[in-house]
Chain A
Amino acid sequence: MSLQSRDVRRNGARPAKHHVLSVLVENRAGVLARVASLFARRGYNIYSLAVAPTDDERFSRITVVVDVESAPLEQVVKQLNKLVNVVKISELDPRDSVERELMMVTVKAPAAVRNQVIELIGVFGGRILDVGHDELALSLDEHPERLDDLEQLLAPFGITDLQRTGRVALPKLERTPPAGLRSAG
């Protein structure tokens, strides 16, 4: 597994080709390590990773963004499926899913520019988490590309700390009602 440098994105380049896998796993010790070492052993690159328990305590969900240029997605999925603790894998094409990621960032904001920073986070719909005498701590949960944009805009002020969670995703919902419902309406 290699976590690709985020500098790639700062330079404006999007992750070449990525896919989001939503992997339902048994909630047991060592399962994340199995998944991670499978990626390492088979030479697949992970772009981002998020793990959390689900509403069913027996299972956890691993949302992993895979660089599909390092290996065909089909092989990644099939090899993951061979892990005994992997219960179900859903592939989410970025075009057919809604994605979110959380960024927390501490930025230099002395009095002279503080309003500019506050305005910026307001435009993005983010929040101010903490206020220091010459710094602000901000948070934004948004599409990862929007996080990139904010990050780029904050950079000139001076970012002192930044953390991102790795993305999570849900499939896009059906827009048109099924035929039966339509005629009824």
Chain B
Amino acid sequence: MNTNGGSALIRSLELEGVEVIFGLPGGAILPVYDPILDSPIRHVLVRHEQGAGHMAEGFAHATGRPGVAMVTSGPGATNIVTPLADAYMDSVPMVCITGQVPTAAIGTDAFQECDITGITRGVTKHNELVTRAEDIPLAIRQAFHIATTGRPGPVLVDIPKDIVDPMNPNSAMDWYWPSDADVSSSLPGYKPTMKGHPRQIKEAAALIAAAHQPVLYAGGGILKARAAEALRELAELTGIPVVTTLMARGAFPDDHPLCLGMPGMHGNYTAVTAMQQSDLLIALGSRFDDRVTGKLDGFAPDAKIIHVDIDPAELGKVRRPDVPIVGDCRLVIEELIKAIGALGGPESRADITPWRQTLSGWQEKYPLVYEQSADGDMLKPQYVLEQLRDRSPEDTIVASGVGQHQMWTSQYWKFNHPYTWVNSGGLGTMGFSVPAAIGAKVGRPDRTVWAVDGDGCFQMTAQELVTAATERIPVKIAILNNAYLGMVRQWQEMFYEERYSEVYLSPDLPDYVKWAEAMGCIALRVESPEEVGPAIDKANEIDDRPVVLEFRTDSSEKVYPMVSPGKSNDDIVVDPTQGEPTR
């Protein structure tokens, strides 16, 4: 017996290439924290376990590498359930190590015991309770393999204390490192399909060649598959315009002439309506989410569907595809490009120029608009975002929380690079942005990282700025403080006859500047339009500690366009100044 489970766990993480662990120790995980002192792995000590989970997610979003979080049993583990659910919904590769009470105590309601594998069964791609020290290296290799291959997702490994505690004989083991073959033979039921079926790809190419009003419907799977370049090649080869869903912002450059931007409930008119009127939707790593489709039976009624996804269960889950293709987006797109090329040059394809002209007409007629505030009025959030966008480096990474500010950021930022947008799409987790931005900055220290946050969101996870200040992680936070849970307020205004129930938060309580300063940040309050630019410039110059800018914004501002819940995308409401769309 030449090692113990705790040392083997840390060594396994090192061999998996882990550079940083986001975590917080406690009783059950204590023995694993001792070997961390001697490991080259950096540990970021969070102030709440939810922060560790979102940091791991932010790290993964920005780098494409799996984020790692480590917490103790019981409450430590339950506190990280939300990030796991978030990572599961958005297919974020993440490995979470939780401490567990000693094997002999499992099931006895011991101190800080909870059945975390039971609790997280529905919100992880896989989880495992390891019961023998000698199983640890294989369990860790399996976890990283499962988290990063196929459709990525979170994997939780639960480790009882006795098998990692060198004082306990249960932890004694001989070191070994399982081979790739050991890993795959240990997972007889796990074989993701990477390559698309050639016949299906040929059929897809034929549909593409025949379509007059096609749209490339790019989802988060493009980013997960590192397929942004392949997508661009496909779009440029065929001239087919691209919509990028909330999860795919940055997967196709916003400044590209073929980019239509974001579709969905708060998508722009052209992106939404292009999908509605399309005769062929080429869904690439997207999943026909209800926020994209609106009322399902009114969604893109005349469109044939090509659906490419690495997860077979997505094909036909919501909308039956005419051509389903199971496979990795990058590999499938590359094959699709070849298959389209094999059909001949541009003359072998239907002319889509009239379609492109229609779309440009819509783009001119229904751009995103807002009214600039009059002197002395509150700031317009859109104006703040335009300034933030124009005054920050081109490749800035932007994280956001969930709500109005998230939609405005997605709308007004110009995403020209993949992996620059970090947000909580599927689960819609308020409080995501501060810790996620910290994780992104740890993964990409060379980049400027801004978190755009709401005042409601900020109050949920702001304590992680203490982590950022302590660890010298210079993230920048822009709080759009409209003193409300803004998106809920918008729904109450529009759908509940302005009966505002439990949405008012106060602009002054807490005092965000004092709070940020107390957490070791530099903080500024911005109230008038002429202060916006200089404050952002100042924030962008600071590189040794976190900065918080509090923008006092107009609470009556609403996110447009909007497809009301339960309505068809045909009933999209544009900004009231643009009147009612005609078609």
Contact = CB atoms under 8 A, between A and B. Distances in A.
Contacts of B117: 30
B interface, how many residues as a size bin? 10 to 19
A155 to B, nearest CB: 39
B316 A74 contact: yes
Given A26-B188, A37-B121, A84 B312 contact: no
Given A74-B316, A75-B313, A83 B122 contact: no
A88 B312 CA distance: 15
Interface string A60-100: 00000000000010110011011111111000000000000
A84 B313 contact: no
A87 B188 contact: yes
A182 interface: no
B118 interface: yes
A72, A74, A84, A88 interface centre (most CB from chain B within 10 Å) = A84
A33 B189 CA distance: 17
Contact of A37 (B122, B311, B317): B122
Contacts of B126: 84
A27 B316 CA distance: 31
Nearest to A25: B189
A41 interface: yes
A88 B146 CA distance: 18
A34 B129 CA distance: 13
Contact of B316 (A30, A75, A85): A75
B313 A79 contact: yes
B189 A87 contact: yes
Contacts of A81: 189, 312-313
B189 A34 contact: no
A25 B189 CA distance: 8
A71 to B, nearest CB: 10
B187 A84 contact: yes
Interface string A11-55: 000000000000001100110011001100100000000000000
Given A30-B117, A30-B129, A75-B316, A84 B122 contact: no
B190 interface: yes
B312 A34 contact: no
A84 B190 contact: yes
Contact of B313 (A25, A41, A82): A82
Nearest to A24: B189
Interface string B174-195: 0000000000000111100000
A interface, how many residues as a size bin? 20 to 34
B118 A84 contact: no
Contacts of B188: 26, 58, 87
Contact of B312 (A29, A33, A78): A78
Contacts of B125: 84
A48 to B, nearest CB: 22
Contacts of B312: 78, 81
Nearest to A30: B117
B38 to A, nearest CB: 33
Contact of A26 (B121, B189, B316, B317): B189
Contacts of A82: 311, 313
Contacts of A41: 122
A29 B129 CA distance: 9
Contacts of A38: 122
Nearest to A85: B189
Interface string B118-132: 100110011001000
Contacts of A83: 189
Interface string B294-334: 00000000000000000111001100000000000000000
B213 to A, nearest CB: 29
Contacts of A37: 121-122
B316 A84 contact: no
Given A26-B189, A84-B187, A33 B313 contact: no
A84 B125 CA distance: 8
A87 B190 CA distance: 7
Given A83-B189, A85-B189, A87-B189, A34 B313 contact: no
A33 B316 contact: no
Nearest to A82: B313
A84 B149 CA distance: 12
Nearest to A59: B188
Contacts of B129: 29-30
Interface string B125-145: 110010000000000000000
B121 A75 contact: no
A42 to B, nearest CB: 9
Contact of B317 (A29, A58, A75, A84): A75
B389 to A, nearest CB: 39
B122 A78 contact: no
Nearest to B131: A29
Contacts of A84: 125-126, 146, 187, 189-190
Nearest to B121: A37
A79 B125 CA distance: 11
Contacts of B118: 33
Contacts of A88: 189
A84 B186 CA distance: 11
B121 A34 contact: yes
B121 A33 contact: yes
A58 B188 CA distance: 10
Contacts of B316: 72, 74-75
15 contacts: A30-B117, A30-B129, A33-B118, A37-B122, A58-B188, A72-B316, A74-B316, A79-B313, A81-B189, A81-B312, A83-B189, A84-B187, A84-B189, A84-B190, A86-B189
Q: Which 9 A-B pairs have the closest CB atoms?
A: A78-B313, A87-B189, A84-B126, A41-B122, A86-B189, A84-B190, A87-B188, A37-B121, A78-B312
Given A38-B122, A58-B188, 14 more contacts: A26-B189, A30-B129, A33-B118, A33-B121, A34-B121, A37-B122, A81-B312, A82-B311, A83-B189, A84-B125, A84-B126, A84-B187, A87-B189, A88-B189
